[in-house]
């Protein structure tokens, strides 16, 4: 597969690593991708966090919901517990699920930390990490990477940014 076939990817595979394309894929449209990155830049140097919800079973992240980082910290994030309840009630009412759970790292790479791994409790979600260590609040390079985190095991997946969801075939579900 070439880069032009799969769209923009989060990063380049380095020999010796688990091949990026060997397992899952996150397909996300440009608007949602841009909104996640913009949120991460805006909240730098604190960690930004949120979800991109989508119809249950669709694996399609459609509705970005930026969340307040109750910790307001450069090294920790936590959804405010009251907002968390409202978010899940809202998703339930819309028959949605958290397709993407995202947060930023502001001084380190976009890879799950030990804290991220031990606290990950949505095995069906794509955990997206954005690193703003290079760009800060400004335009500039960001890392945007996606992972599955299931029972402490981290699996990186390809990130495919598409102009819109309509044109491409739905991706097979992994979490069902």
| Residue ranges in contact with other proteins by CB under 8 A | 47, 49, 51, 67, 71, 73, 75-79, 81-82, 84-85, 88, 101, 103, 105-108, 112-113, 115-116, 119-124
Yes or no: say if 103 and 39 are a contact pair by the CB < 8 Å rule. Answer: no
Structure tokens at 54: 């989508």
* Residues 6+ away with beta carbon under 8 Å from 153: none
When the beta carbons of 31 and 107 are compared against other proteins, the nearer one is 107
How far is Cα 111 from Cα 142, in angstroms, rounded to an integer? 13
When the beta carbons of 13 and 88 are compared against other proteins, the nearer one is 88
Yes or no: say if 21 and 1 are a contact pair by the CB < 8 Å rule. Answer: yes
Taking Cα atoms as reference points, which of 140, 134, 138, 129 lies closest to residue 26?
Answer: 129
Q: How far is the CB of 155 from other proteins (least distance, A)?
A: 16
Q: How far is the CB of 127 from other proteins (least distance, A)?
A: 8
When the beta carbons of 33 and 79 are compared against other proteins, the nearer one is 79
Q: How far is the CB of 33 from other proteins (least distance, A)?
A: 20
């Amino acid at each position: 597969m070439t880069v032009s076939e799969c769209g923009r990817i989060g990063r380049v595979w380095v020999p010796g690593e688990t091949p990026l394309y060997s397992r899952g894929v996150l397909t996300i449209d440009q608007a949602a991708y841009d909104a996640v990155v913009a949120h991460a830049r805006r909240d730098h140097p604190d960690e930004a966090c949120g979800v991109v919800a989508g119809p249950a079973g669709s694996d399609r992240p459609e509705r970005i919901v930026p969340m307040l980082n109750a910790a307001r910290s450069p090294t920790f994030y936590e959804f405010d517990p009251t907002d968390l309840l409202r978010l899940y009630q809202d998703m339930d009412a819309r028959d949605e699920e958290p397709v993407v759970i995202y947060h930023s790292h502001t001084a380190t790479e976009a890879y799950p930390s030990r804290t991220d791994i031990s606290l990950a409790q949505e095995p069906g979600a794509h955990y997206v990490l954005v690193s703003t260590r290079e760009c800060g609040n400004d335009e500039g390079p960001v890392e945007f990477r996606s992972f599955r985190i299931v029972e402490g095991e981290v699996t990186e997946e390809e990130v495919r940014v598409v102009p819109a969801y309509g044109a491409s075939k739905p991706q097979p579900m992994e979490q069902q």
